[in-house]
Amino acid sequence: MIALGAIVAAGLVTALSVRDAVALDLVFTLLLYAVLGQSWNWISGYAGNISFGHAIFFGCGAYASALMVTHGLSPWLAIPAGAVAAAALAIVTGFPTLALRGHYFSIATIAVAAIVDALVRTQPWLGRATGFELPIASGWAALQFADKGPYIVLALVLFTAVQIATIALERSRLGYYLRALRANHAAAAAVGIDERSWKLLAFAWSAVIASCAGVLYAQYTLFVDPPSTIALGVSIDIALIGVVGGIGTLWGPAVGALVYVVLAKGVALELGGTGKGYDLVIYGAIICVIAALRPHGIVGAIVDGLRRRRGALELGAASATGGAA
């Protein structure tokens, strides 16, 4: 909670004082990715169903925004509309696939996302492959601003809400049940947990969060097309952010987004643009090192360290034999 307060304060100061467009763009991207990473973390981190298709829910929000605005409706309506679409898509696709385990689920999410991507590219009402350019407007009613400051504030509101929701998740029946299902589905069934219904609930909420981020993204870039919203590359970015920071942890996605945006994008900008692949090299190397040396992610490694200090593991003679069995 203290950390959250500090971030909100720092974000507000940034929004009000910084005028450098590139820096503000990085801050916005950071917050957006932290939200998307947390959304992914609900189903893939806490529940353990690793998704490589999460961008389709982000796309629900972005496309809802594009459709509302291009049809002359308020972009605010895109928030509930995108949420309903995302939740429905999560339930329809999750119902058959969430019971699949390990790689089968992960590849199923790639398959579902690829089908959605291909279908969007053939639908005239969804702008086919070229997508939508949103007409320029200004003000809170149009959810568009000439200045980047209000976008940072909105991103900060969304980020704070999602972090608080995640704290609530960790302290709820749903949170406990997801962790139990991830740890051992047979033992989870033995305490009365119905895998499908609880995972569907988490998947739907996770999709709603991603959709909210999608609305904000569309209103910020004013451009929505398949490669920037629903493509496999976006899904992979989201998943890798979740894992770099540490899956199934409250602050993992935020730390992952920080690593991604500051280290990869930021350093690549300094080295002369992202078009040359330097960002991928740096980011790929970071992921490789973390996966090989700190496979529980950055936050996961810190949590393990704290636990060890508190003695929860207490690797004495007695517990060592238990751990070996």
Partner 1 sequence: MTAAAVPLLEVRGLVKRFGALRALDGVDLDVAAGTLTGLIGPNGAGKTTAFACIAGAERPTAGSIRFRAAEIAGMPASRVTRAGIGRTYQIVQTFADMTVLEATTTGALLHHPRLNEAVARAEEVLEFVGLADKRQRLGRALTIADKKRLEVARALATEPDLLLLDEVMAGLTPAECGAAVELLRRTLARGITILMVEHVMEVLMPIADHIVVIAAGKTLFRGSAAEAVRDAAVVEAYLGAPPAGDGAEAGR
Partner 2 sequence: MEALTTFAQLLVGGVLTGLVFALVAVGLTLVYGVMDVVNFAHGEFLMLAMYATLGLALLGLGPLLGLPLAVIAMFLFGIIVYRVFVRRLLAGPPEATVFGTFGLLVLMQGLAQAVFSSDFLSVPSPPFAGTIRFAGLAVSQASVVEGCGALILTALLFAFVEYTETGRAMRAVAEDRIAATLMGIDVQRINGLAFGIGAACVGAAGGLLMLSYPVYPTAGVPFALTAFVVVALGGFGSISGALVAALLVGMLEVFGGFYLSPELKLVPVYLAYLVVVLVRPQGLLGRR
Q: Which stretch binds partner 1 (CB under 8 A): 133-141, 143-151, 283-291, 304-312?
A: 304-312
What is the token pair recorded at 180? 């139990």
| Binding flags for partner 1, 154-173, as an x/- string (CB under 8 A) | -----------------xxx
**Residue 141 beta carbon to partner 2: minimum distance, rounded to whole angstroms:** 37
Task: Report the alpha-carbon distance of residue 217 to residue 38 in Å, rounded.
Answer: 16
User: Maximum distance among all alpha carbons in the chain?
Assistant: 70
Q: Per CB under 8 A, does 325 bind partner 2?
A: no
User: Residue 314 interacts with partner 1 (CB under 8 A)?
Assistant: yes
Is 239 near partner 2 (CB under 8 A)? yes
Q: Is residue 312 part of the contact set for partner 1 (CB under 8 A)?
A: yes
Residues 24-63 that bind partner 2 (CB under 8 A): 50
Cα 66 from chain centre:
20
In sequence order, the β-bridge partners of residue 224 are 132
Tokens matching residue 48: 């353990």
Using DSSP's 3-state secondary structure scheme, residue 248 falls into coil
Which of the listed partners (partner 2, partner 1, none) does 191 bind, with a CB threshold of 5 to 8 Å by partner kind?
A: partner 1
Contact between 184 and partner 1 per CB under 8 A:
yes
What pairs with residue 223 in β-bridges? Answer: 133
CB 212, min distance to partner 2, A: 26
CB of 98 to partner 2, least distance (A): 11
Least distance to partner 1, CB of residue 163, Å: 19
φ, ψ of residue 223 in degrees (nearest 5): -150, 125
Please, what is the angle between helix 297-310 and helix 232-245, to 10°? 20
Q: How far is the CB of 308 from partner 1 (least distance, A)?
A: 11
Interaction between residue 195 and partner 1 (CB under 8 A): yes
Take residue 258 and report the two structure tokens written for it: 């920080």
**Smallest distance from the beta carbon of 303 to partner 1, in angstroms?**
10
Q: Please tell me the distance from the alpha carbon of residue 55 to that of residue 58, in angstroms, as a whole number.
A: 5
Residue given tokens 């005028």 in the structure block? 19
* Residue range at the interface with partner 1 (CB under 8 A); choices 9-17, 145-153, 189-197, 284-292: 189-197
Burial readout 64-82 (b: 16 or more C-beta within 10 A, e: otherwise): bbbbbbeeeeebbbbbebb
Answer for which of 10, 88, 141, 190 binds partner 1 (CB under 8 A) is 190
Task: Note whether 306 binds partner 1 by CB under 8 A.
Answer: no
Site membership for partner 1, residue 220 (CB under 8 A): no
For tokens 């730390």, the residue is: 255
**Burial status of residue 146 (CB atoms within 10 A of its CB: 0-12, 13-18, 19 or more):** exposed
Strand partners for 132: 224
Range in contact with partner 2 (rule: CB under 8 A) among 7-15, 35-43, 159-167, 278-286:
278-286
In single-letter form, the type of residue at position 24 comes to L
Q: Kindly tell me which residue out of 20, 23, 73, 194 binds partner 1, with binding defined by CB under 8 A.
A: 194
Beta bridge partner(s), residue 133: 223
What whole-number distance in Å separates Cα of residue 250 and Cα of residue 246?
A: 9
Q: Give the residues lining the site for partner 1 (CB under 8 A).
A: 171-173, 176-177, 179-180, 183-184, 186-195, 307, 310, 312-315, 318-319, 321-323, 325
Instruction: Give the footprint of partner 2 on this chain (CB under 8 A).
Output: 50, 96-97, 100, 102-104, 106-108, 110-112, 114-115, 118-119, 121-122, 129, 232, 236, 239-240, 243, 247, 275-288, 290-293, 295-296
